[in-house]
Structure 1
Amino acid sequence: MSERPTIYFIRHGETDWNLEGRLQGQQDIPLNDLGRVQAEEAGRRLKGLVPLFEDLDYVASPMLRTRETMERLREAIGLYPNYYRLDERLVELTFGSWEGMTWKEVRKQEPQLAVLREQDKWNYVPPGGGESYAMLADRVRPILDDLTRDTVLVAHGGVARAFLAVACHVSTRHAASIDIWQGKVLVIEGRSYRWA
């Protein structure tokens, strides 16, 4: 038996800033049309994975893109859209003054800082009040202890990377760069994970 409840982690659907490669961080950007479809697809995948999906706990980051993803996925599987909890600790890490920029723009405007981040993505803190993955991991770690039953978490790519490092012991170097897919379900069981 797993040491903790299973987590069904769903990254929010695509936004226009995702499409443009912009760093969203804590900017409250809504889903685009593809993102809405991805949210519904994630719901269908979840329904196929968990026969008693209505018995799961449902928790989302309070940001607009995650709330809309949660509501669309719940509606897609026949649950009341608004019946879920919010947890502030699930908010995306902030990129500080880099938010709204693309990585290409960051590399052009602040090449030395971009190189420093590439050398140690996990621990690098972006300028202007940014947050490192290490700081994010400290913020989300207590969530694992708070889980009392199998749970659907709708949050962000950075948060998923932090969970993989904290819950599954993925190396911080690998976790900081792993692709987190939209429209799919990241199943975290004990210390293992898989995509569904």
Structure 2
Amino acid sequence: MNIVFIRHGSTELNHKHVYAGVIDSEISQKGIEEIKSIKKHLQKIKFHEVYSSPLKRAVQTTKLLAENYKIDSRLSEMNFGIFEGLNYCQIESKYANESKAWAQDVLNYSIPKGESLAEVFNRTKVFIEEVGSKKGDILVVTHGGVIACALSLVFNQYDYFYKFKVMHGTASVISIEDGYMYIKAINCIDNIVDVL
């Protein structure tokens, strides 16, 4: 079976390069165009199930791609807590101690009022294990952080997280066969049918 992960269309906050995990922003006009571009290719695929993050930008993206879908909170972007809405320079300036602690242990440091990357990995892993036992291809609309976690989990290497750059409005595909997981595509748009 294939899990086709779609990163939601881009938002104005994405263009500002701030940490916007759980800020409930809408997709921009550019984001809408990104999703329309991949939709014509996804329409050729019959998905057994469709899942979406509960955040507005993901739900808007999902509604452009499918009529029926399930919301799953495990697919939410990382909660950056006190860092939400700030760029990295602002975080360093406003929260010097917290940003230093985060930099020293990006996996396990739990951001105040937020969560750790390890927590995002854990919920992503549980989701994949659950849907990976199903039959048929599955469409998942989520966020860059969750998709990078999923790709890293293929190697069981959490430190691979920052080695993946997941683009808005693209598909990354993980296949699972008899419990064996591998990557079929990253940042795919027009050749998604050929990949599956």
Question: TM exceeds 0.5?
Answer: yes
| 8 Å contact kept, 2:11–2:27 | yes
- What is the percent sequence identity of the aligned residues? 25
Superposed CA deviations along residues 132-179 of structure 1, whole A, max 9, x for unmatched, are 11111212222123221311100111111221233x125212214521
2:129 paired residue number: 145
Q: d(CA) in 2 for partners of 1:192 and 1:116?
A: 33
Q: d(CA) in 2 for partners of 1:96 and 1:46?
A: 34
Residues 1:179 and 2:169 are matched in the alignment: no
Aligned-residue CA RMSD (Å): 1.8
Aligned AA (1:181)? M
Superposed CA deviations along residues 101-148 of structure 1, whole A, max 9, x for unmatched, are 111210222234323323332222212x21111111212222123221
Match for residue 145 of structure 2 among 155, 158, 169? 158
Q: d(CA) in 1 for partners of 2:104 and 2:164?
A: 15
Q: d(CA) in 1 for partners of 2:81 and 2:19?
A: 10
Aligned AA (1:109)? K
Q: d(CA) in 2 for partners of 1:178 and 1:101?
A: 22
- Deviation of 1:12 after TM superposition, in Å, equals 0.7
1:123 paired residue number: 108
2:5 paired residue number: 9
- Deviation of 1:185 after TM superposition, in Å, equals 0.5
Q: d(CA) in 2 for partners of 1:65 and 1:115?
A: 30
- SS of the residue aligned with 2:46? helix
Q: d(CA) in 1 for partners of 2:34 and 2:95?
A: 34
| 8 Å contact kept, 1:90–1:155 | yes
Aligned AA (2:76)? V
Q: d(CA) in 2 for partners of 1:170 and 1:54?
A: 29
Q: d(CA) in 1 for partners of 2:11 and 2:108?
A: 26
Aligned residues: 179
Tell me, which stretches of 5 or more residues in structure 1 are unaligned?
75-80
TM-score (norm 2): 0.83
Q: d(CA) in 2 for partners of 1:96 and 1:137?
A: 17
